[in-house]
Amino acid sequence: MNAYDLSLEELSEHLATWGEPPFRARQVFDGLWRRAATYEELTDLPRALRERLAEELPTRLEVITERDADGGATRKGLLRLGDGHVVEAVLMAYPHRMTVCVSSQTGCAMGCGFCATGQMGLLNNLTGGEIASQVVWAHRAARVARPEAEKPLTNVVFMGMGEPLANYRHTRDAVGRLLDPAGLDLAARHVTVSTVGVVPGIRRLAEDHPQVGLAVSLHAADDDLRSELVPVNRLWPLDELEQAVADWRGLTHRRPSIEWTMIDGLNDDARQARLLAPLARRMHAHVNLIPMNPTPHFGYGPSPPERLRRFADIVRGGGVPVTVRDTRGREIDAACGQLHWDAAATAPSEHPVGDRELPAREDLEAATR
Ligand code: SAH
Ligand code: SF4
């Protein structure tokens, strides 16, 4: 059992079976989440209790390596979590916020060819505690970076390794843990779940966490191209995705964002821009253009700046707000779509991109129930 998987209530029940008074659970919960401490560091607890906690309710959050980039503003952590699963998380400092990008799975089954995580296939789902404990790592690192700030870590995006809505229940639990007022107490509006378009998950997220933001990774605005770039489009084509986003908006009254990786010569032409503009308008979405970050097993590169500008101008001309995202962390393979341990050391033949089977629609639907 991983202590990060427990709510305060569950922890209280557990400690009550050990004969501990109720205030102890609150003390431990506060230590784990708000102080981001290890049991060893919680010296206000009796030693025997600390030892028992470490033995019976471990909190595995081991930093294997950390690397900095962008003059120290970006930090990538390779972390070993709860059950031994290894993932990458990235902490990014901006003038008025600090954002951590967390992983929801080790690898990913969705098979988007341009993405390093997709190239490795799916190894494991993470539990809610394993996902949320990456934020504890970030919380610690953020406090070191900005000791003067009361709450240095402000934002969480589910844009690391994996497809969060293909691991729905654990994603939902992780979000619950991050928002818990007794714990990290993050603002729901500062948490964003990014999805490649797992439609039943979008519907459930709106019901379970209506304040949380949604980013939809679109990358193409017609079904032919999208099914090629993003295989999950074969399960839920654009009209179904558009309807799910409309329903999500109806429940949440929020604006979604559309993520669009700009790939040279594939999805960066005027035709795609002209198709995207009305779709984004109907979705009431903000469009983020991400110049493609290089990945080992994909033969295309990022769109050159002038193509990117032209594309952005057309979409803007259609009345849609557009931002070109920076390429944070690229130099240490920490940028969007680059998370993959030891990508360079893995031979392409081990990654049969394109002929890997997608999970069945029924299985993905069942995962959200
Ligand atoms: N599975 C989810 C979240 C993780 S991917 C999703 O796909 O939305 C986070 C973002 O990185 C997505 O928008 C994805 O499309 C983008 N991405 C993947 N590979 C990329 C690459 N090589 N360059 C730039 N962005 C990439
Ligand atoms: Fe998975 Fe997202 Fe990468 Fe696609 S882009 S393979 S959904 S992590």
- Ligand 1 atom nearest to 293, measured from its CA: 23
Q: Whose CA is nearest to atom 8 of ligand 2?
A: 162
Q: Would you say the CB of residue 272 lies under 6 angstroms from ligand 1?
A: no
Q: For residue 335, give the ligand nearest its CA.
A: 1
Q: 21 to each of 27, 51, 65, 80, how far by Cα in Å? A: 11, 17, 38, 32
Distance between CA atoms of residues 271 and 278, nearest Å:
12
Q: What is the pLDDT along the chain (369 residues), one digit of tens a residue?
A: 899 999 999 999 999 999 999 999 999 999 999 999 999 999 999 999 999 999 999 998 999 999 999 999 999 999 999 888 999 999 999 999 999 999 999 999 999 999 999 998 999 999 999 999 999 999 999 999 999 998 999 999 999 999 999 999 999 999 999 999 999 999 999 999 999 999 999 999 999 999 999 999 999 999 999 999 999 999 999 999 999 999 999 999 999 999 999 999 999 999 999 999 999 999 999 999 999 999 988 999 999 999 999 999 999 999 999 999 988 888 888 888 888 866 444 444 344 444 568 999 999 999 888
Closest CA to 133 of 162, 173, 165: 173
Whether 336 sits among the annotated catalytic residues: the reply is yes
- Ligand 1 atom nearest to 195, measured from its CA: 8
- Ligand 2 atom nearest to 108, measured from its CA: 1
Distance between CA atoms of residues 217 and 102, nearest Å:
16
Whether 88 sits among the annotated catalytic residues: the reply is yes
- Ligand 2 atom nearest to 166, measured from its CA: 7
Pocket-testing residue among 336, 339, 340, 353, ligand 1, by greatest number of atoms within 8 A of Cβ: 336
Q: 295-324: b or e for each residue (b if 16 or more CB lie within 10 Å)? A: bbbbeeebbeeebbeebbebbeebebebeb
Ligand 2: centre distance to CA 366 (Å) = 20
Distance between CA atoms of residues 87 and 84, nearest Å:
10
Q: Would you say the CB of residue 163 lies under 6 angstroms from ligand 1?
A: yes
Closest CA to 273 of 335, 218, 236: 218
Q: 252-278: b or e for each residue (b if 16 or more CB lie within 10 Å)? A: bebebbbbbbbbeebbbeeebbebbbe
Ligand 2: centre distance to CA 194 (Å) = 10
Cα dihedral 221→339→69→82 (10° resolution): 130
Predicted TM-score (pTM) of this structure: 0.95
Q: Would you say the CB of residue 289 lies under 6 angstroms from ligand 1?
A: no
Could you tell me if 183 and 6 are in contact, meaning their C-beta atoms sit under 8 angstroms apart?
no
Q: Which residues line ligand 2 (CB under 6 A)?
A: 108, 110, 112, 115, 117-118, 162-163, 196, 217, 337
Distance between CA atoms of residues 67 and 46, nearest Å:
36
